[in-house]
Amino acid sequence: MSEMLFESPAELAAYAAGRVAELCQKAVAEKGGCHLVLAGGTTPRLCYELLRQMPLPWASLHIWFGDERCLPVGDAERNDTMADAALLRHVPIPAAQIHRMSAEEGPESAAAAYAALLAAAPVMDIVLLGMGEDGHTASLFPANPALTDVRLAVPVYNSPKPPAERVSMGYTALNAARHRILMVTGKGKADALARIRAGERLPIAAIADGEWLMDRAAMGSTD
């Protein structure tokens, strides 16, 4: 586990984009390809917008999603809709290498389909993750049965963050990846971060060996 502190979300996003680019180029140089798992929510958007300006070996990238919201295809609130707008629409990644979650089909069927895709895929190279104010990550929420589901992709019900039904990569897939980068910004996250640093096992705390990127506001610093 490593921690880095940044003055602002913009500085954090710039570092994160550079780090992802570095790891992508390394994976492509070593193995001929890179499997990158995108985070949802709002925090990673700036990182994606910076990443699209970088000369990455886009044709050698495979894109996966850490979680998705069970909404119709193209819905503005879907994580892949955000990723399309901020990154995927702007870079030449072959459509067949963008592995969307079929969350529109509902949690069970989408999770089963994605788990099958993941089982046939190599280990993920890079996983990007955000954190919610309750310490959730991807769609792994406190006290939710999805936390103990060992499948590669898991159905999620009763999410406290709308929509209630989601699909998430499980800890099994997330912790098997080569690198995990956790991006946490804003004062709304300070309470959960303090609880985690005090040893509370909030869902994100079960992410193994993460590169924690945090801004001053999330660390509770007001100056």
Minimum CB distance to ligand 6PG smaller for 94 or for 162: 162
Quote the least distance from Cβ 131 to ligand 6PG, whole Å. 6
Rounded to a whole number of angstroms, the minimum distance from the CB of residue 89 to ligand 6PG is 19
Residue placing its CB nearer to ligand 6PG in the complex, 115 or 184: 184
Rounded to a whole number of angstroms, the minimum distance from the CB of residue 33 to ligand 6PG is: 24
Q: Which tokens in the block code for residue 81?
A: 């809709």
Q: Which is nearer to ligand 6PG, 34 or 38 (CB)?
A: 38
Interaction site with ligand 6PG (CB under 6 A): 39-43, 67, 69, 79, 130-132, 136-139, 161
Amino acid identity at 38: L
Dihedral over Cα of 183, 186, 187, 188: its sign: negative
Separation in Å, CA 47 to CA 80, 108, 135: 15, 31, 21
Q: How far is the CB of 184 from ligand 6PG (least distance, A)?
A: 8
CA distance 179 to 194: 24
By C-beta, is 42 or 59 nearer to ligand 6PG?
A: 42
> What separation in angstroms does the CA of 150 have from each of 119, 168, 170, 172, 193?
13, 12, 7, 6, 25
CA separation for the pair 156, 215 (Å, rounded)? 29
In angstroms, give the least distance from the CB of 186 to ligand 6PG: 7
Amino acid residing at 87: L
What tokens appear for 174 in the block? 């997330």
Q: Output 58 or 69, the one with its CB closest to ligand 6PG.
A: 69
Question: Which is nearest to 64 in space by CA: 140, 119, 118?
Answer: 118
